[in-house]
C-alpha cells in the first residue's frame, strides 16, 4: 500500500524522534536546546557520538556517519518495513490513515 505524501507529512508533523529514540537509547541532554546524546544503537561504541536533533527531527551519528529521520530510524533499527513503520507511528500518535482519508474525502465534497 502506498500512502499519499500529504498523509505522511501530517504524520511526521506529529512524530517526535526524541520520543522514539529514547525507548532504545539512554539519552542525555547536551548544552544546545533540543539536542540529546547517547550511545549509537546501530554500532558498538563506548563514547557517545549519537546525537538526536529534536529541533530538526533527525538523529545523526558522528561515529558511523549515518543520519536517520524518524521513518528510516524505525525501519533500520527495528527491522520494520515502510508500511509497518507507518502503521506503528499512526498507532503511537493516534493519527490513522483511514480516519485521515475519510476526513479528506469529506473536505473535497
- Binding region for Zn ion (CB under 5 A): 40, 43, 61, 63-64
Report, in Å, the least distance between residue 85 CB and Zn ion: 20
Helix axes of 5-14 and 82-92: crossing angle, nearest 10 degrees: 50
Consecutive H or E run containing 66: none
Give 63's Cβ-side CA count (13 Å radius): 16
Least gap, CB of 17 to Zn ion (angstroms): 15
Three cell numbers at 21?
Answer: 529514540
Nearer to Zn ion, 10 or 45 (CB): 45
Nearer to Zn ion, 15 or 73 (CB): 73
Nearer to Zn ion, 61 or 90 (CB): 61
Per-residue b or e along 53-79, where b marks 16 or more CB atoms closer than 10 Å to that residue's CB:
bbeebbbbbebeebebebbebbbebee
Query: How far apart are CB 13 and Zn ion at their closest, in Å?
Result: 27
In the complex with Zn ion, the residue whose CB is nearer, 17 or 61, is 61
Could you tell me the smallest distance in angstroms from the CB atom of residue 105 to Zn ion?
Answer: 43
Amino acid at each position: 500500500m502506498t500512502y499519499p505524501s500529504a498523509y505522511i507529512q501530517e504524520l511526521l508533523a506529529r512524530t517526535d524522534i526524541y520520543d522514539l529514540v529514547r525507548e532504545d537509547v539512554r539519552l542525555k541532554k547536551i548544552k544546545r536546546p533540543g539536542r540529546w546524546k547517547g550511545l549509537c544503537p546501530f554500532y558498538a561504541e563506548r563514547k557517545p557520538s549519537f546525537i538526536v536533533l529534536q529541533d530538526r527531527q533527525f538523529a545523526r551519528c558522528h561515529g558511523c556517519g549515518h543520519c536517520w529521520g524518524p521513518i528510516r530510524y524505525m525501519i533500520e533499527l527495528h527491522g520494520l518495513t515502510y508500511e509497518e513503520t507507518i502503521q506503528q507511528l499512526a498507532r503511537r500518535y493516534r493519527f490513522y490513515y483511514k480516519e485521515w482519508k475519510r476526513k479528506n474525502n469529506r473536505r473535497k465534497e
